[in-house]
Amino acid sequence: MFTSQQQEFATAVAEFCQKHCATAEQRAQLTDGGRLSNSPTLLKKFAELGWLGVSLPAEYGGGGAGMVEECIFLEETSRGLAPIHAYGTGLTAAQAYLRHGTEDQKKRILGNLCAGNFEAIALSEPGAGSDLAGVATRAVRDGDRFIVNGQKTWITAAHLADHLLVLTRTDPNAGRHEGLTLMYVPTDSPGLEIRPIRTMDGHTVNDVFFTDVEVPVDNVVGGIGDAWHRLMRGLNVERLIIAAMSLGAARRSLEDTIDYVRTREQFGKPLSAFQAVRHTIADLATEIEHCRAYVYHVARQIDAGLEERLAREGSMAKLKCTEVAKQAALTGLQLMGGNGYTVEFGMEMQVRKALAPPIYGGANAIQREIIGKSYGL
């Protein structure tokens, strides 16, 4: 599946995570006793190793490789339980800067991400989630600046990020998919308030409130009023990012389950001696390997410059991998019985982590709609 160099990279990331993130005690130390959902210390360490932004151009601090290498990093860090969940949202924002930003924006934002700092993207609102074209956050032009008012919600890592890439409505009289503009806003801007929302998987998302926030016109990413079409072109990469992270989570659940059924005995023999258990594991492992092959198929297509033809494939990857990750965690919990329900064995954490990806980045119902419409239905 990989070149020798790519395999060496995968092995290096896996071994690092095994050494530094494998135990609950290590993860607690990295996250201030669990108080933080992401580890700034660990992210900085990955930056020192040159692994952050491995798919981004070297001139902006990245690794100059491709999406295959990026997916390897995302898969292995997720599999290794590295607490850097928010890196994925920064990487999604980075795609918009890379494609549509000015040279100064690329150097500033991409360089910041690759140096081990958090970046975030703010799209969803209380009335605009799956219906993203319903964005109501207003940005009114006032000379060489915009005045922004509104609310964003479910914003991953806003409390950690240095900048937010914000989708705003600059022309309320234009059509639903017109008059939308992307702009980056420093999180220390006067009038910007971030309120955390605690979630069941421990990852902090946020409400973000804008009250007369002044944003220079130079902070616009792309053109004024054409954000929708620019944004849609970058969503395949976001879906692939989520798919790769879910793939890693599914592998972790499978591996932990296999370890358990090999050693847990009932009726005088290991659980793995029962055909029903083996067949359940076999079906799950087959599903995961299918996901793995498809993730890297889509990644190679992106690296070949075919991304804009991959709307269907990106949605398929996100849909399948997130559903399989959920299936893997629930299967593991079931096979572990009562132990699976305890904190000690870790599978309950995998279940909680697996419930959000089918929702964010475009709910799976929306992915099914995209796939169905791609066939002319």
CATH number of residue 167's parent domain: 2.40.110.10
d(CA 159, CA 84): 14
Strand partners, 194: 208
Distance CA 375, CA 184 (A): 36
Residue 107 resides in a domain: no
Assigned token pair, 235: 């969503």
Rounded to whole angstroms, the Cα distance separating 289 from 92 reads 25
Tell me: do 256 and 277 sit in the same domain: yes
Q: Does 89 reside within a domain?
A: no
Domain boundary among 225, 243, 267: 225
Question: Is the per-residue pLDDT at 156 higher than 70?
Answer: yes
Per-residue pLDDT for 88 more than 90?
yes
pLDDT in tens, 307-337: 777 889 999 999 999 999 999 999 999 999 9
Would the pLDDT of 341 be above 90? yes
* Average pLDDT estimate for 90-118: 95
- What DSSP element (H or E) covers 142? strand 138-142
103 falls within a domain: no
Where does the pLDDT of residue 34 fall: very low under 50, low under 70, confident under 90, or very high at 90 and above? low
Question: Is it the case that residue 242 has pLDDT exceeding 70?
Answer: yes
pLDDT at 359: 94
The chain-wide mean pLDDT, for the chain, equals 94
pLDDT tens by residue, 120-131: 999 999 999 888
Question: In this structure, are 126 and 182 located in the same domain?
Answer: yes
d(CA 376, CA 207): 37
Q: List the structure tokens of 224.
A: 């004024």
Q: Specify the amino acid at residue 139.
A: A
Nearest to 86 by CA among 169, 166, 154, 16: 154
Task: Give whole-number Cα distances, 11 to 30, 53, 54, in Å.
Answer: 22, 18, 15
Determine if the pTM surpasses 0.75. Answer: yes
Type of residue numbered 29? Q
* CATH number of the domain to which 350 belongs: 1.20.140.10
Asked if pLDDT for residue 185 goes beyond 90, the answer is yes
Task: Check residue 98 and give its pLDDT.
Answer: 94
Q: Which amino acid is at 191?
A: G
Query: Which of 176, 208, 225 is the last residue in one of the domains?
Result: 225
The residues, ordered by sequence, that sit 6+ positions from 118 with a Cβ below 8 Å of its Cβ are: 38, 40, 43, 86, 87, 90, 157, 160, 161, 162
Domain ranges, residue 281: 234-374
Same domain for 189 and 126? yes
